Amino acid sequence: MTLVNVFLFSLGVLAIAAPLWVHLRLGRVKKRAVVSTLRLMRATPQSSKSPRRFVDIPLLLLRSLILLLLALGFGRWLIPGLRGDHTREYAVFVLDVSGSMQAQNGGARVWDEARERSLEALGKLDLSSRVALVLSPAGLDRPTWISPAEAIRRVKALDAGYGTNRLGISLREGTRLLAEMPDDFPKVIHVVSDFQRSALAGIDGTTIPAGVTLELTKAGPERLSNRGVAVTVASAGITDLGTYSFTDLAEGTLRLEENGAARTLTIAPGQEAVRISHAGKKGTWITRKMESNETDAIAADNTAWDVFQAQEPIPFWLWEPEGEVVVAPSQDASMPEQRSSRSRSKLQPAVASPHAYDQASYYIRRALQPATEEDAEAASRYRPVLLTEGNLGTAIDQPVTAESPGLLVLPGRKKLAGPLPALAKRLIDHGGAVVFFAGSGLDPATFNAGFGQVAGVTLGAAEPCKLAPALEVITESNPLLGSLDGQSRHQLAKVALTTRFPIELKQGAIALVSYADGVPFIVEQRVGKGRAYFVNTSADREWGDWAASAQLFVPALHLLCARAVGEDSASATRGPVMAGEPVTLQLPVAFAGKSLKAGGGTYPVDAEGRVPGVIFEKPGVNELVMDNGAKVGWVAANFPPGESLLETYPEPVVRQRLESLRQNTGGSSVRWESEELGGLAWRICLGLAALLMMIEPIIANRRATV
């Protein structure tokens, strides 16, 4: 009890006053006696009745004790110090407010259970404890040390968000906060979470200092059924692929709403994604909303959002020698308008037959336009036009227009037919581009003679490459691959490349990317408006693993082709944005120094036009507006796919993972909430009160009888 807390003080006063009042009330006729006559008696004067005097002090003390015990027993929720398990500690509460906490579990959300458990744990703390609430994912507010009562108030007002639980980051924040506090009280990190597998993904780099106890509270069941559309949008920009994948959607339909026009997509059994191109009328903002008709644990992940600025389709020639590739008919009947816009004979997606196909051209084609038989819709702006010996003459004679292919991609093949150099030179002269790939079939002498001047390189005899890492460090400032994220650049530099050509650059040619020993890897030659690029490795698996690694090959090829056709890939770059996750937005440098309003917050734009740490709290489409009212674009935020899986680790696994984070190995300081000893004090209070309540009438009657 404290005088600072008015409520508890009032409760204490009431606990003292109530037994006195009862005692005085009952004390009026507490003793009775029958006498022969009242003739000799004189009634007690009125003055002695008020104020009443306390008589039978032992009985008063007994009644006071009973009420006090009852008050203590039932007041355990209000008086944390009463409980046996109460502690005075520095407590960091890591609260999982990720999207998976919104899952419905038997009519209630997992978050509701987590909140109750959190409040229960907070209620056990001594009033003098200090509490820090660390949300995972962290919002815009930075955690500070507050009182348990304030923490309870905040947790009551807290609700689950839509982000991804980053337990490792939250634990690091918790240990940082605890390091600020002295060592006079125990330090405990309470983790209240559903412990999704995704939450523990980045936990290995975390260290729990000695003396810090981890207390785990699991909310929700081991597994819930969720069949969401948790969409991963491989958006325009680096890859220029409109790919919408979903989790655990066996079959059914998706309702696609594109700028208000709705249609239904049928999902076949086993289908994991649909691909819809971002092509359209250039410059138009297109908003896509995809909804599943599923009813499952999480409703928020049944809707996916995408917004992009449409780009014109980019047809390109892909050299395929005659007789090595068969052309498959179109399988898509749901997109007649798009199908009719293509040239059936030339723009149809080509599918290699299993017994005869060129691996290099196949990798190139699938990287730039990964259409399949299942969803024959174009998934990117790149529309391959197969160039064979049969239609090579037609291509040369075709007039160069805005709709005709302006890009030629030549895998390193033996057959570099006679008219090909003429076609390449014609394209470059008209502002087009040619991309050459090396390969075992490419004869250096033939290439140097036919394409050396156009490509700006002179090739030597092929040589083995034993460098590790194979490529130089690709920095963020790299003109071609700098827009890739750091991890992708790092992995790309380490990719296995076994063979290469020694290259001599001609006048005007520059190496965009080089091997670790300085040999050019990608060379750019600009001739007027035209451009030529030479990639010093094969597009198949003969000279390395790069082309076989879709995660490294596809983005790099998209960046290369975008550069080749004159697109500014950096300005259009934006990866998938997840709700609740901080992202860095790239704006034109002209907006440097201004403020951006997005997702309910205002963020400064740095000198390079970047806006770091932008958080969009909820899934949906958000408009980006500068503080002066200028509209600079749109961003779609989606429910994190990892939060839709709803797969949790068993308790022993979580415990073992977290115990492995401890600096000292002596004893386990990780415990589950269920291991706590229940407070015995309040039980003893109530038990004793019940016993005394049974005894009190007996004592009272005995003392009242004269």
Partner 1 sequence: MKDATIKLDETLLEAIQDLSLTARHLVNGFLLGQHRSALRGISQEFVNYRPYMPGDPLKDVDWNVWARSDHYFVRQFRHESNFRGYLVLDASRSMDFGEGATNKFVYARLLAACLASLMLSQMDAPGLAIIGRGGRVDWTPPSTRTDQIDRLFHQLGTTCADGKTTGLGDISLLTEDCRRRSLAIWITDGFFDPEEGRELLLQLRLRDMDVLVFHLMHREEIDPPFDGEVLLTDSETGEEMIVDGKQLRRDYAPRLTAFLEEIEGLCLGLEAHYCRIITDEPLDEALHRYLAVRDLL
User: Residue 408: which H helix or E strand, with range?
Assistant: strand 407-410
Question: For residues 55 and 179, which CB has a smaller minimum distance to partner 1 in the complex?
Answer: 55
Q: How far is the CB of 692 from partner 1 (least distance, A)?
A: 22
Question: For residues 28 and 281, which CB has a smaller minimum distance to partner 1 in the complex?
Answer: 28
Question: For residues 37 and 295, which CB has a smaller minimum distance to partner 1 in the complex?
Answer: 37
Residue labelled with tokens 């007996």: 698
- What are the φ/ψ torsions at residue 294 (nearest 5 degrees)? -75, 150
The CA-based angle 658-127-158, given to 5 degrees, is 60
**Residues 427, 406 contacting (CB under 8 angstroms):** yes
Cα separation of 292 and 304, whole Å? Answer: 9
Q: How far is the CB of 694 from partner 1 (least distance, A)?
A: 25
**Site track 56-85 with partner 1 (rule: CB under 8 A), x = hit:** x-----------------------------
DSSP 54: P
User: Which amino acid, residue 281?
Assistant: K
- What are the φ/ψ torsions at residue 298 (nearest 5 degrees)? -115, 120
Question: For residues 24 and 265, which CB has a smaller minimum distance to partner 1 in the complex?
Answer: 24
Kindly report the length of the chain: 706
Question: Bridge partners of 189?
Answer: 92, 214
* DSSP calls for 558-620: HHHHHHHTT--HHHH----EETTSEEEEE--GGGTTSEEEETTEEEE--TTSEEEEEE--SSE
Q: Name which of residues 266 to 285 contact partner 1 (CB under 8 A).
A: none
Cα separation of 183 and 185, whole Å? Answer: 6
Question: For residues 46 and 674, which CB has a smaller minimum distance to partner 1 in the complex?
Answer: 46
Q: How far is the CB of 54 from partner 1 (least distance, A)?
A: 10
Token readout for 555 is 């983005």
Q: How far is the CB of 26 from partner 1 (least distance, A)?
A: 12
Q: How far is the CB of 44 from partner 1 (least distance, A)?
A: 4
Q: How far is the CB of 133 from partner 1 (least distance, A)?
A: 58
Question: For residues 57 and 694, which CB has a smaller minimum distance to partner 1 in the complex?
Answer: 57
Question: For residues 40 and 468, which CB has a smaller minimum distance to partner 1 in the complex?
Answer: 40
Question: For residues 693 and 700, which CB has a smaller minimum distance to partner 1 in the complex?
Answer: 700
Q: Could you tell me which of 396, 408, 403, 266 has the C-alpha nearest to residue 341?
A: 403
Q: How far is the CB of 693 from partner 1 (least distance, A)?
A: 23
Question: For residues 42 and 466, which CB has a smaller minimum distance to partner 1 in the complex?
Answer: 42
- How many residues interact with partner 1 (rule CB under 8 A)? 23
- Burial environment of residue 377 by CB neighbours within 10 A (0 to 12, 13 to 18, 19 or more): buried
Please list, in sequence order, all residues whose beta carbon lies within 8 angstroms of the beta carbon of residue 204, skipping any fewer than 6 positions away: 168
DSSP 80: G
Q: How far is the CB of 62 from partner 1 (least distance, A)?
A: 16
**Site track 87-106 with partner 1 (rule: CB under 8 A), x = hit:** --------------------
Q: Name which of residues 1 to 60 contact partner 1 (CB under 8 A).
A: 27-45, 48, 55-56
Q: How far is the CB of 702 from partner 1 (least distance, A)?
A: 14
Question: For residues 49 and 282, which CB has a smaller minimum distance to partner 1 in the complex?
Answer: 49
Sheet holding 601-604, edge to edge: 577-578, 631-638, 620-626, 595-598, 601-604
Contact residues toward partner 1 (CB under 8 A) are: 27-45, 48, 55-56, 706
